[in-house]
Amino acid sequence: MHIGPGCTVCAEVHLTTDITLARHVIVNTGATLSHDVQVDDYVTIAPGATLSGAVRVGEGADLGTRCTAIQGIAIGAWSVVGAGAVLTAAVAPNVTVVGIPAKIIKSRAAGWHLE
């Protein structure tokens, strides 16, 4: 397990084996990160989120409360995942997804977060 500088891991978080949290990641209360999860810089994981094994979360992604990502998917940089969404396929960078299964409701140009 690797927890980078500036990370916050809140109460009742469950981290299993081979988890990597890069810099300035927030893992909120009650979240679960299963084996081989990789989280890039500046990611926010809201309370109760569940990331199954081998999930990769790109830089700056914002994962909503109680969202679920099935095993082996990638969540693109600067994407936003709505509360309660179920991710059954890869999420492109710079999009917002919601629902069960998650669908894109908004796309943004690369660099939108710098405006």
Is 113 noted as a catalytic residue in this protein?
no
Rg (CA), the chain: 13
Catalytic residue selected from 2, 14, 35, 113? 35
CA angle 105, 107, 109 (to 5 degrees): 170
**Cβ(113)–Cβ(93) below 8 Å:** no
Q: How far does CA 31 lie from the centroid of its chain? A: 10
> In angstroms, rounded to a whole number, what is the distance separating the alpha carbons of residues 5 and 52?
24
Q: Which amino acid is at 53?
A: G
Which residue bears the tokens 């600067």? Answer: 78
Beta-bridged to residue 63, according to DSSP, are: 45, 81
Residues taking part in catalysis: 35
